Structure 1
Amino acid sequence: MAKRLTYFILIGLVLGIITGWAINASISDGTPGADAQLTEIAGYFSIVTTLFLRLIKMIIAPLVFSTLVVGIAHMGDTAALGRVGGRALVWFIGASLVSLTLGLILVNLLQPGAGLDFPIPPVDAASGVERGAFDLKVFVTHLVPASMVEAMATNEILQIVVFSLFVGVAITAVGERAAPLVKGFEALVAVMLQITDYVMRVAPLAVFAAVAGTVAERGPSIIGTFGYFMGSFYLGLILLWAILIGAAFLIVGPRVKLLLRYIREPILLAFSTASSEAAYPRTLEALDRFGVPPRIASFVLPLGYSFNLDGSMMYMTFAVIFIAQAYGIDLTLGQEITMLLVLMITSKGVAGVPRASLVVIAATLAFFDIPEAGLLLILGVDHFLDMGRSATNVVGNAVASVVVAKWEVELDPLEPAEIEPPHAPAHSPSSGEAEQSFR
């Protein structure tokens, strides 16, 4: 089914581009109210996409909670938990620095914001993006949920992770008396992944609607206008992929060359919907088939969605420096290094959902006295850039899970990349097999 679904998503992507282009071309610029008509049509398409993303969000919280609790419970002891968590954070910090630094180097080298041949928004123009300065007190206190129900209702992944850590460690401490609870969570994992299978059947339609609506509203001309900026950014993403996979190759070995084949469906889904969150369930399953022990994947992957958004971090440096270049603002080397450190902190906990990075960018612009109005320059193409950075987030977290698994234990034998059980996903063993699977 996975192979067919990938093909259907590709078909939906191509048909969406064709349909959106045709709609945009049929409503000429000379038609009165053309922009309003295109916006209205895009709004109708967005209904399907919004419903799909809401279905995904419906799954995320219980899936993250149950898989993380079961994974921690089968770690065996808190020492193993601390070791895996420490290794994951080491990789996350290293990957974050590479992403931010590579973006900074490329945007300074290629200068996509210099010499733009279209009007720059006035400095005092409103961007429409909510801006808030980084507050350490708010950031730290926000890590711990005031209510687990509220955290799950709002899909606060980082808060869910914190609560799951407490529950998993407590289950380990209680021991045999908590065994029925572990079996219940294992059953919940199986149920949620089965629901994922149902939801994913409408993914091609959601991809078609998302792409058709975007292309219909924006039109192909905007891609041409910002072609150099977009091309520079996607070049950076390609280089980042190569660096991450190359580093994993040195640690894991030749097997890593097969990783993209296993995660190509989640990558394509994240790219077409511009949401790495939409790819979370499928990424979890793909890592299991690749041989990452479920107890490792179910722990590292949720952490990665809060601490390891590599594509988003590269975009933040690209966008901030691009806007500064557009307004002719030269930042010193010291300011740029400070920017890296600021983004290292402020980017953590950003949800893997569309447009979340813009809030962090707005705060960073204000910190360095760069006109916030510059966000208007990139809003038109942000969706197309979000597609690339969402796919990169999936790649970065998959690589992190594989590397941490190799550091901790040997990878399990490979399973066929394109084969899934007909009723229950491979990641969800029966209760009799669970103890062996989560070793």
Structure 2
Amino acid sequence: MAHHIPHAPTAALPPAARPWYRHLYVQVLIAIVLGVAVGHFAPATGEALKPLGDAFIKLVKMIIAPVIFLTIVTGIAGMRDLGRVGRVVGKAFAYFLFFSTLALIIGMIVANVVQPGAGLNIDPATLDSSKVTGYAAQAHETTLTGFLLGVIPDTVLSALTSGNILQTLFVAVLFGIALAMIGPPGERIFDALEAFSTAFFKLVAIVMKAAPIGAFGAMAFTIGAYGIGTLANLAGLVATFYLTSLLFVLVVLGAVARLAGFSVLKLIGYLKAELLLVLGTSSSESALPSLIEKMERAGCPKSVVGLVVPTGYSFNLDGTNIYMTLAALFIAQACNVDLTIGEQLLLLGVAMLSSKGAAGVTGAGFITLAATLSIVPSVPIAGMALILGVDRFMSECRSLTNFIGNAVATVVISRWEGGFDREQFDAAIAGRLPSVDQLPEGTVAAE
């Protein structure tokens, strides 16, 4: 099968040959620092810069659906073996279910040990619940049945225009299977889609040039609107969440990576530009097309990347799951609600279901928390007003943890499934692949 991202030519110069300021991660890092400075020293200006961040995220969302569609269709059709498609999906969901549940349990254990909400003595009656009613209403609409029906688009074309990743995934898998089943007559369609795929990944490279501007606008708005000072009020919760997520990445995902024969720290280094972009925009979606391209480029089979990455964006939300149990128990502790072990296990079970029901919804973390609390009446949903001010700061950590979790899952499942190019992977994470400027025309490279 043709592959739109070639292996690195041996004669290529290393990426380090480029000036430091031409690396995307350097540009995004500078943009984040400038954004924080503008937001802090000129809050009104920072808030006014919100359209820059919004415009960049819209640019990325514009290309997410076709990138996912083309990657999955060409991956499945090129694989030919439909039994393998089922195996990849089965392994991916088994992995997602195990680690998502583990993340929920870790959040619950940490909340019980650290007790970040203890001593606040908040009276739920004094809280302004009007600010969270919108989230609660949206959560109420997101039932499991509604979620499953929502996976099916109104038309085949609307799956590419609705902005719903799961609808795109659903149609792409069906179309890829159909294309694989018709055999030789589908070769011309396959070749055309491969050509489209090359063009869209070049478009990804063009859009990513605007990443520093988007990160600058989004970070300036966040600091300008919410202020660094808002962190001080709930510093215990924010610090606990960041530390728990860090330990999850380094210890849990680090152990998984070690068992799979690679270093999670080196993988994080390889994805540093994307991680900084996620940090700047508070959205893991902003780096989704780039993650697909980079994981393929790092030797993961195209078919596995196409199935695991988009599905993981809805079902493998480690950061969101840690946040859900931690935040729910924080609210209970702050409002002096003493939950029994049974009630906490009920909370855990509801969170497992609601985290799938709200998958793919914008602001899924906060909405899923609202859905969980609405089903567990012992914890006042009005308590969500306590964390609304710092949720934006925690959403960055949620997105970063989700992103790293999906990158690790892609490598692990690629190894399980076979076809993983270890030599290519080692070259990628060691930075030995050529830069964009050194690749042949019509291809894209990792930053």
TM-score (norm 1): 0.88
Amino acid at match of 1:409: G
The equivalent position to 1:355 in structure 2, one of 342, 349, 363, is: 363
Give the equivalent residue in structure 2 for 1:276.
284
CA distance in 1, matches of 2:436, 2:82: 33
Is the CA contact (8 Å cut-off) linking 2:72 and 2:172 kept in structure 1? yes
**Per the alignment, in what secondary structure is the counterpart of residue 348 of structure 1?**
helix
Give 1:168 shift: 0.8
CA distance in 2, matches of 1:298, 1:53: 21
**Compared CA separation, residues 147 and 42, structure 1 to 2 (3 A):** farther
Letter in 2 for 1:167: F
Partner of 2:35: 16
Q: Using the alignment, how far apart are the partners of 1:79 and 1:311 within structure 2?
A: 32
Aligned to 2:336: 328
Distance in 2 of aligned mates of 1:209 and 1:124:
29
Aligned residue type for 1:109: V
Change (3 A) 1:340 1:196: same
The reply to whether residue 234 of structure 1 matches residue 242 of structure 2 is yes
1:130 aligns with 2:135: yes
1:215-226 matched pairs, under 5 angstroms: 215-226=223-234
Partner Cα distance (1:120, 1:224) in 2? 21
Secondary structure, counterpart of 2:325 in structure 1: helix
Q: Residue 396 of structure 1 aligns with which residue?
A: 405
Aligned match of 2:115 in 103, 107, 111? Answer: 111
Are 1:6 and 2:25 counterparts?
yes
Deviation at 1:424, TM superposition (A): 3.6
Q: Select which of 138, 148, 151 maps to 1:143.
A: 151
1:130–1:256 CA distance, 2 compared to 1 (3 A): closer
**Residue 70 of structure 2 aligns with which residue?**
66
Aligned match of 1:436 = none
Letter in 2 for 1:382: D
Aligned-pair distance for 1:289?
2.9
Post-superposition CA distance 1:188-225 (Å, at most 9, x none): 22111111111111111111111111112222211111
SS at structure 2 position matched to 1:253: coil
Q: Decide which of 178, 184, 191 is 1:176's aligned counterpart.
A: 184
- Cα separation, 1, equivalents of 2:329 and 2:27: 38
Aligned-pair CA distance for 1:117: 7.5
Residue 386, structure 1, aligned to residue 391, structure 2: no
The more displaced of 113-122 and 176-185 is: 113-122
Counterpart in the other structure of 1:421 = 436
State the partner residue of 2:5: none
**In 2, distance between residues paired with 1:153 and 1:121?**
43
Task: State the 1:351 CA deviation.
Answer: 5.1
2:60 to 43, 56, 63: 56
Between stretches 91-100 and 372-381, larger displacement belongs to: 372-381
Inter-partner Cα distance in structure 1 for 2:122 and 2:185: 68
**Does residue 203 in structure 1 map to residue 211 in structure 2?**
yes
CA distance in 2, matches of 1:221, 1:11: 22
Looking at structure 1, the residues matched to 172 and 253 of structure 2 have their Cα atoms a distance apart, in angstroms, of 30
Question: Distance between the aligned counterparts of 1:136 and 1:289, measured in 2?
Answer: 36
Cα distance, 1:353 vs structure 2: 7.0
Corresponding residue to 1:409 among 400, 415, 418: 418
Distance 2:229 2:265 in 1: 37
Q: Find the aligned partners of 1:293 and 1:244 in 2 and give their Cα distance.
A: 24
Letter of the 1:80 partner, please give it. Answer: R
Gaps of 5+ in 1: 25-37, 429-439
Out of 81, 88, 92, which is 1:84 matched to? 88
Asked if the contact 1:123–1:372 (Cα under 8 Å) also holds between the matched residues in 2, the reply is no
Deviation at 1:123, TM superposition (A): 5.4
Per-residue CA deviation, residues 274-319 of structure 1 (Å, 9 max, x unaligned), is 0010010111122123221222111211111111111111111122
Please say if 1:96 is aligned against 2:115.
no
Q: Is the 8 A contact 1:311 1:389 kept in 2?
A: yes
1:376 aligns with 2:385: yes
**Structure 2, unpaired ranges of 5+:** 1-17
Which region of structure 1 is more displaced relative to structure 2, 193-202 or 130-139? 130-139
Q: Which amino acid aligns with 1:240?
A: F
User: Within 1, Cα distance between the matches of 2:160 and 2:135?
Assistant: 23
Q: Are residues 333 and 8 of structure 1, via their aligned partners in 2, closer, same or farther at CA, if it must alter by over 3 Å?
A: same
Alpha carbons 2:436, 2:445 under 8 Å: kept: no
Aligned counterpart for 1:303 among listed residues 287, 293, 311: 311
Greater Cα shift, 197-206 or 393-402: 197-206
Alpha-carbon deviation of 1:186? Answer: 1.3
Q: Match of 1:211, SS?
A: helix
Hey, what does 2:3 align to over in structure 1?
A: none
1:272 positional shift = 1.3
Question: What SS does the aligned partner of 2:170 have?
Answer: helix
Identity %: 35
Cα shift at 1:42: 4.4
CA contact (8 A) 2:159 2:167 kept: yes
> Normalised by the size of structure 2, how large is the TM-score?
0.87
Contact 1:114 1:325 in 2 (8 A): yes
Q: Report what 2:13 is aligned to.
A: none
Distance 1:363 1:352, change over 3 A: closer
| Paired letter, 2:203 | I
